[in-house]
Amino acid sequence: MDNRPIGIFDSGVGGLTVVKEVMKQLPNESIVYFGDTARVPYGNKSKSTVTKFSAQIIRFLLKKDVKAIIIACNTVNSNCIEELRQEFPDVIIEGVVEPGVKMALEATKNNRVGVIGTEATISSRRYPELLLQNNSQVNVYDKACPLFVPLVEDGWINTEVTYLVISEYLATLVSKKIDTLILGCTHYPILQHEISQVLGDNITLINPANQAATEVLQSLQANNLQSTDTPKYAFYVSDHAQKMKQMAEMFLGYPIAEVIRVDIEKY
């Protein structure tokens, strides 16, 4: 057994969708969350910049003595997760892309799968590669939705503008007759209700956080690293601590004592 916390990080508030699922599936595990709110979004950054930012955050989380890290950012997962695993071999590093692929292939009935994500995630081609590796018959249709992250970060949820943007982005995918859509950015499940309203009931939405939490649980069990303690939750950001506090309380549904701002460039 191991009562050290799990580290979770994202470019902003989107990783809270993973935090929520980990709390649900691993109720005894403590969590240290870092949101890089000073440098969000990652989706328009170069691979080298995303890799540098991610390494800084992992070094910060290791200072907090985490036993495992979940990269709750699809842009990082798609561009540099293997490099980060090589650079930090002494800690378990789990992602969200592979779990999303697994869920989508189990869900699709007609082998027509849509993927939405940031520009960096879509241009990486990581999702289509993994989907086709696991099912050569699948047809993959992807679409970058760069406005979704700023909408979520600025709290533009369930507004007329939100529905217009969603409808505009997803029209092409609907025309391809997809029956499954991977929400390939951890911000996007915060818009899941609105996306579902636009798409209707015939398209299954895949939130990779569900399977990601399950795979972390399996990794902890396999390495005898599960906690038996009462969990503690700590939240850190690179900027806008009060805004993160409000978003976290709204999304997680319980009061948070404080969100601490960190100068992440020092790591």
- Would you please indicate which residues are annotated as catalytic (active-site) residues? 73, 185
The structure tokens listed for 116 are 């939405």
8-state DSSP, 20: H
Query: Any idea of the CA torsion for 63, 235, 188, 139, to the nearest 10 degrees?
Result: 20
Chain centre distance of CA 51: 16
* Sheet architecture: strand order including 233-237: 92-94, 68-71, 6-10, 31-35, 233-237, 259-261
| Six token digits for residue 99 | 């779990």
**Rounded Cα distance, 61 and 80, in Å:** 17
DSSP 163-220: HHHHHHHHHHHHHTT-SEEEE-STTGGGGHHHHHHHH-TTSEEE-THHHHHHHHHHHH
In the chain, the amino acid numbered 17 is T
Pairing of strands 180-183, 92-94: unpaired
Tokens of 230: 């009462």
According to DSSP, the β-strands at 139-144 and 180-183 are unpaired
